[in-house]
Amino acid sequence: MIIGIPKEIKEQEHRVALLPSGTYQLAKHHQVLVETGAGVDIGMSDQDYENAGAEIVPRHEDIFARADLVAKVKEPLPSEYPLLREGQVLFTYLHLAANRDLTQALLDSKVTGIAYESVEVNRRLPLLEPMSEIAGRMSVIVGGYYLAKHCGGKGVLLGGVPLLRGKYARSLRPDRYPGADERDFPVSGNHGGSRPRRGSQTTSRASGRHQCLERAPDQ
C-alpha cells in the first residue's frame, strides 16, 4: 500500500498525522510518502522522515494522486476536495455533523472516509479521547489568559487572589458578572450563541465572552 502524509493547510494547524517513528514501522511493509515540510512545525525535518524510510514529495497534489491511503489530522479543505478519488481511503478527523459541504464532497468523490473520532474499540473512542483530554486541560489555561486585561477581560485570576475572600470574591458566572469568560472547546455545532472561529479571531462577545475554537490541541 502507498500511504500519503500531506502537510496540513488549515490555518494554525501545526500537527502532522505521522511521526518518523511511525514512518519507520510502516515503511517496513508499505511505501510512505511525506510532503515536504509536513513535520517542520513539530520539529521533524524532511531528513528525519527520509531516514525513517519515507519518500519526500514536494507537491501537495502528488500526495493525493499517488497514495492509496491518505492520513491527515484535520478534514480536507475545499481546495482538497477535487484531489479525493474513488478507491482511495481518507483517514483523519472529519466531524461531519457540522459540515454539510464536506459530507457531500466525500460522497461525490466516492472516497472511503474513516473518521478518527468514530473509531470505537471496546466501547471507547481511543483516537478521540486523548484530544478531548488535551482540550479540556487547555480550556483552563486559555480561559485564564483571556481574563487578563490586555485581552479585554476583567483582570480576574482563576482561583482567586490570596487573602481576598468572602465579600471580595467575584463570581465568574456570566449572569452575575458581565464580561466573564466561557470556554467552548471544541466547536462542532453551536453553543450559547457561539460560532466556530479561526486564526487570530478566536473570541466573540455576546452576554459573556466566548472562545470558540474548532480545535485546541494544535495550539
The cell for 171 is 463570581
> Whose CA is closest to 35, among 11, 56, 8?
56
Helices and strands, number each (H, E), in the chain: 5, 9
CB-CB contact of 114 with 106 (8 Å):
no
Residue 197 per-residue DSSP state: B
The cell for 23 is 514512518
Beta bridge partners of 210: 182, 204
Active-site residue list: 95
Cβ neighbours of residue 50 closer than 8 Å, sequence gap 6 or more: 56
CB-CB contact of 94 with 75 (8 Å):
yes
Angle value at C-alpha 196, between 191 and 201, nearest 5 degrees: 125
The pairing of strands 55-57 and 112-115 is unpaired
Distance between start and end Cα atoms, the chain: 32
Rounded Cα–Cα distance for residues 103 and 111 (Å): 11
